[in-house]
Amino acid sequence: MICSNFFLLLFFALFSSILAIEQNSPPISSDNNNNDDDDNQIINDLHFNISYNLFLAGVKLPTNDPYKPIHLFNTDQILVDYSFQNDGLENEVKVVGLGGNFKNPLNNKIIANLSDSNIGPISITPHQSKSFQQKISINLNSDENQIYLLSPNIYIVYLNRLMVITTKPQLLTVADKPVSLFDLQLLSIILTLSTSFSALFYFLLTKFALPYFGINNFNLLDKLPFLSKKSPSSIKQSSLDSSSAKTTGATINEKGFDESWLPSNHLQKTSSKKSAKSKK
């Protein structure tokens, strides 16, 4: 317990030092490595008031506490809503792009880069404030013990020079999204697999299993009335007729009944009527 508290205190101490460096360092870095006096003067004279809020599915995420990470899932898409205010500059600033990266807060090592995207250009005159947005898709290693540091970047053009502003970082954790039993993708996979296995089972049953036991010409449509083209009543009537014929051993004439059940005098009358009609 003492050891875990020690490592926790060590982590927050390191993150505090990184956050202090981010806040105390010059907010603008040039895109080249020139160290002449003009470039240094431009960097030192820039004054911006930049803030942002994070939204997930239209809900604002709590970002007030810099030491408390926000919890996200893979495949989540967060919206970064920036507010950029140009203070103390005599010339306009143009916002031309957005980017950033995910870092390891313990060693400040970059884990993944955000795809740079072009916007605008958005012109911000002195003492003017404008808002713009950035979408970030979460796709990181889902480790419960891993804490990431989101560091968004803003690309600007000032006095015909392309520069990068590193905004305040945000701690976050990433986990895999739990799968629901009512997920449409999961249900479609289950339906596809069950249909495939049912068709394979029916094929093996009719081609190998039943012929092995001497059962041939098995047709599922004849066994299940709701799958047959015949109506259930006709199937039932034909089955009753065939069963009665088998049990009695009688033959059904063209009129649809067995003459062996009729009295002999009735048969004689019927035969005499037939002969009389034939003579006529």
- Would you say 91 and 65 are in contact if contact means Cβ atoms under 8 Å apart? no
Tokens representing 210 are 């039943």
Domain ranges, ordered by start, for the chain: 2-175, 184-254
Tens of each residue's pLDDT in the chain, 280 residues = 444 444 444 454 444 444 443 444 334 443 444 444 444 444 444 678 889 999 998 999 988 777 888 999 988 999 999 999 988 667 889 999 999 999 988 888 999 998 888 998 999 998 899 999 999 999 888 776 788 999 999 999 988 899 998 888 999 998 887 766 666 776 788 888 888 888 888 788 788 777 777 777 666 656 555 555 555 555 555 555 555 544 455 555 555 556 666 666 655 655 555 554 555 5
User: DSSP letters of 160-198?
Assistant: TEEEEEE---EEEEEEPPPPPTT-HHHHHHHHHHHHHHH
* pTM of this structure: 0.54
Compute, in degrees rounded to 10, the torsion defined by CA atoms 135, 23, 149, 121: 20
User: With the C-alpha atoms ordered 125, 128, 132, 138, is the resulting torsion angle positive or negative?
Assistant: positive
* Residue 74 CB-half CA count within 13 A: 11
CA–CA distance, 132 with 82 (Å, rounded to integer): 5
CATH code reported for the domain at 2-175: 2.70.50.60
Report strand pairing: 70-73 vs 170-175.
parallel
